[in-house]
A and B are shown apart, each in its own frame.
Chain A
Amino acid sequence: MRGRKATPVSRANDGADYGSLRLDRSGQAEAFDAIGDRYDEAFPHKEGQIAAGDWLIESLGPGSRVLDLGSGTGVPTARQLTEAGFELVGVDLSRRMVELAGKYVPGGTFHQLDLADLRPGGPTDLGRFDAVAAFFSLLMLPRVEIPLALRTIHHLLTPGGLFALSMVEAHVDDFAIPFLGNTIRVSGYLLDDLHKILDDAGFEIVKETSYTYAPAVADVPPEEQVFLCCRRRD
């Protein structure tokens, strides 16, 4: 499984209603702090991710504001979008990843934040975006939080805004897996279920591509990657 980006922390609130949900991020950011640069060595093939970035570039106007949720090392997506002339803001739960992204993509702005902090009425407001990219980051959340995260993304987008999402197809919830010498917890949906929660969260799917992907390390099994290009419906 992929776990490339890290994510959120928060308390209850309206909009994307986290209610009394207790957010457990233990170990997730630490794993990525420890993995650092090795992440990109382990996942050298990023064709699907780059293609999804290209879709954003083709679809957005010049100077658009784009949020990279779980920006990781910033390579390739934050770099690709910065070079396309967008105003790029990156968010990651891992301090080490935010440092690396700042180094590799000097043109972007990066914050060490939890996605949940960005919910409507949450502690951090980064403004509205023309597009959000979330490549292999939402899968780091327990399943119960994923619809809430989608609502948050919906809230962060301007009407008609674009959302590029990638996930690993699986039916698991907060499943601990070995990952590059660390352990991370991941969740996943089968495609049909993913379509449904995107629809429920107010997204229209414009394009979908899936890849079978073989990571370059033995302790990460191959996986079915799915890239979804979506638009905020209302």
Chain B
Amino acid sequence: MTEPHSPREGPAGTARRGGSPSGPAPVTPPDPGWDRVPLPPVPQTDRLQYLDVATRRIARGMDLDETLRELRWAAVPAFADAIVIHLHDPLPVGDEKSAVPVVLQLHSIDRAPEARTALLIPHAEYADVTERIQPVPDGRLAKLLLAGQPSFGDAEDIGPAVAELLGPAASAPGTLPQGRRLIIAPLHGRHHVMGTVVLLRRPDRSAFTGDDLLVASQLATHTAIGVQKAVMYGHEASVADTLQHTMLPSSLPEPTGVQLASRYLPASKTAQVGGDWYDAIPLPGNRVALIVGDVMGHSMTSAAIMGQLRTIVQTLAGLDLPPHEVLHHLDEQAQRLGSDHIATCLYAIYDPISHRLLMANAGHPPAVLLRPNGQAEVLRVPPGAPIGVGGVVFESVEMPAPTGTTLVLYTDGLVESRAMDVGTGVEALRTHLQSTRHGHRLSSLERLCDRILAALAPGPRDDDIALLTARFEGFPPDSVGYWHLDPHPLTAGQARRLTRRVLRRWGLDALLDSTELMVSEIVTNAVRYASRPISLRLLRTDVLRCEVTDDSPQVPRMREAGPGDEGGRGLFLVNRLAQRWGATRLSTGKVVWFEQRIPKEPRYHGS
């Protein structure tokens, strides 16, 4: 937030300036001529008016820097000509007493233009005001901090405290004003010293009065409350940030037929933790689900809800439901988490065998597709209503996904900011992708991600950003075998023969015996429960994968087989022979699969 240095209505000793602040106006006095008419010096009501405006401003700050900036702008030049702020480092969080000795760190200095040649010189700006001080235990500064009361610089014993705080700047001649023109005020929170504020007036301005000390005390108190609030808020944000990070995938899967890359950037302000997430989930048949979502709001709750939604999506993906049904069930489940959680989500399934993309959207910004010829296209999928609204119908849209095409999924942080609405941002992303030079289009996805972020989110962000890119590489049909088989007593034998034929075609004779055996066991088991045709699928990548799908939801478990027990033993065999195996429940039944590593240098017999 940038705001001009404007509202500096001051009390004593300073001519009041005109102009109103941007943002909400601080108190409009009843007298319309108030900001033009120079008031006689220092009526009490004027001080109160100043305090009213100043404390409101300080309270308005959302984080540490804003709070302190509001203090500086409220104080200079209306109340003082220069201000020096030090903060406890690290700032204490919560009520616990910190064991480490107090260290004060210079936070900022502000001077009125007229004071540039009169105060804190010859040490320009920050120079020579000590950056970091560890107050001497039981020294004057430590006592002052402990007492928590503001004091005039010329009060007894305060000089050494000021000197300790400001360092060389305090002792240089002409740097500090003479007389009662310095107030040092500790910033005292509920349980801790948070820092100090030093207020200075230039020599040609009237000295501080006793009432001014009360004003300074008020400023310090409000600032300390603001700082404490900001610290607590920041602490929550950093916990939420950590929470968020632990709930995002630590790495992406590496499915055959698609390359993946992702980025997550938190918002610049830590207080703005988001609920963005992304995911890539391998599905049966070498397909992969690509997901991006965004829980509205920025809080720990958003991050926690995000974690739950992501888990729900993973569970639904595991059932191999089409995108619109995943979103439908997600919507239902989200309402059980509470009525006020709204999220957007885009769910896509890429099938490298059919080279198709299936996608449904729940209120999320549209995906962008970058084609191999350089054309970039915003995918017009019916946007649907966000998750959590309830009772909404989602729609899956299917489209071709040719080899070499890149899908870009993202959250609104990439395309929306105070300066840019979503529509403009999406078009900017599309244009950027389309302008990507040929060589860069084909370079690694990691670099594409970096380029996108550098182009669209170069500076500080208001919102977090999740970015997931997928480049489609497809799956050659000659590496697939696929059959439907009516379940009957001879099916296992049929499956064995089909397996043998395909493995011979692929030159995988070395795997013949083990694969036939495992296929036979799994098909025998599937046929026992199936009421519709089962399917047998063989996929060749760097592994040989066999999948047997049937319409019975009963997922087999490996168990000790009894002497007359036909089942069970089969899976022990699979468990021993296969490199990996598993069983996944589907919306229409289940799939049992296993994989074997393909021996090096297989002998290919033709294709």
Contact = CB atoms under 8 A, between A and B. Distances in A.
Interface of A: 1, 169-173, 175, 177, 188, 190, 192, 211-224
6 contacts: A169-B483, A212-B481, A216-B354, A219-B398, A221-B482, A223-B482
B477 A172 contact: no
A177 B482 CA distance: 15
A49 to B, nearest CB: 15
B480 interface: yes
From A169, A170, A212, name the one whose CB has the most chain B CB atoms within 10 angstroms.
A212
A4 to B, nearest CB: 17
Interface residues of B, number: 27
Contact of B533 (A175, A211, A214): A175
Contacts of A173: 486
A30 to B, nearest CB: 22
A213 to B, nearest CB: 6
A169 to B, nearest CB: 6
A218 B356 contact: yes
Given A175-B532, A216-B400, A224 B483 contact: yes
- Can you list the 5 inter-chain pairs with the closest CB atoms, starting with the nearest? A218-B356, A170-B484, A214-B477, A171-B485, A212-B477
A170 B480 contact: no
Nearest to B498: A190
A197 to B, nearest CB: 16
B545 to A, nearest CB: 14
A117 B498 CA distance: 36
B351 interface: yes
Interface string B346-362: 00010101111110000
Interface in B487-538: 491, 494, 497-498, 532-533, 535
B39 to A, nearest CB: 77
A173 B477 CA distance: 25
Nearest to B491: A171
Contacts of B497: 190, 192
From A169, A170, A215, A218, residue with most partner B Cβ within 10 Å: A218
B532 A215 contact: no
Contact of B349 (A177, A216, A218, A223): A218
B220 to A, nearest CB: 66
Contacts of A188: 484
Given A214-B475, A218-B354, 5 more contacts: A212-B478, A212-B482, A214-B353, A221-B535, A223-B482
A1 B533 CA distance: 13
Contacts of A217: 354, 356, 398
Contact of A172 (B351, B478, B481, B485): B485
B486 A222 contact: no
B482 A171 contact: no
A173 B487 CA distance: 11
Contacts of B475: 214
Nearest to B501: A191
Interface of B: 349, 351, 353-358, 398, 400, 475, 477-478, 480-486, 491, 494, 497-498, 532-533, 535
A191 B354 CA distance: 24
Contact of A224 (B349, B481, B491): B481
Contacts of B485: 170-172
Contacts of A175: 484, 486, 532-533
Nearest to B396: A218
Given A1-B484, A214-B353, A214-B354, A170 B400 contact: no
Contacts of B357: 218
B537 to A, nearest CB: 8
A193 to B, nearest CB: 9
Given A171-B494, A173-B486, A216 B356 contact: yes
A172 B353 contact: no
A218 B535 CA distance: 16
A3 to B, nearest CB: 13
Given A212-B477, A217-B398, A224 B482 contact: yes
Nearest to A187: B486
B480 A171 contact: no
Contacts of A223: 482
A225 to B, nearest CB: 10
Contact of A215 (B354, B358, B494): B354
Contacts of A172: 484-486, 533
B533 A222 contact: no
Contacts of A222: 353-354, 477, 480, 482
A216 to B, nearest CB: 7
A218 B351 contact: yes
Contacts of A192: 497
A90 B485 CA distance: 31
B335 to A, nearest CB: 29
B480 A214 contact: yes
A222 B497 CA distance: 19
A173 B532 CA distance: 10
A223 B533 CA distance: 15
Nearest to A212: B477
A146 B462 CA distance: 67
Given A170-B533, A218-B358, A221-B482, A213 B494 contact: no
B477 A220 contact: no
A221 B354 CA distance: 8
B400 A212 contact: no
Most chain A CB within 10 A, of B478, B482, B491, B494, is at B482
B600 to A, nearest CB: 24
Nearest to A181: B398
B486 A171 contact: yes
A216 B358 CA distance: 12
Nearest to A44: B400
Contacts of A216: 354-356, 400
Contacts of A215: 354
A186 to B, nearest CB: 9
B395 to A, nearest CB: 13
A8 B535 CA distance: 28
B355 A214 contact: yes
A217 B497 CA distance: 28
A46 to B, nearest CB: 14
Contacts of B351: 218
A150 B598 CA distance: 42
Contacts of A214: 353-355, 475, 477, 480
A136 to B, nearest CB: 15
Contacts of B358: 218
Contacts of A221: 354, 482, 535
Nearest to B535: A221
Nearest to A220: B354
A86 to B, nearest CB: 31
A89 to B, nearest CB: 32
Contacts of A190: 483, 494, 497-498
Contacts of B486: 171-173, 175
A224 B482 CA distance: 6
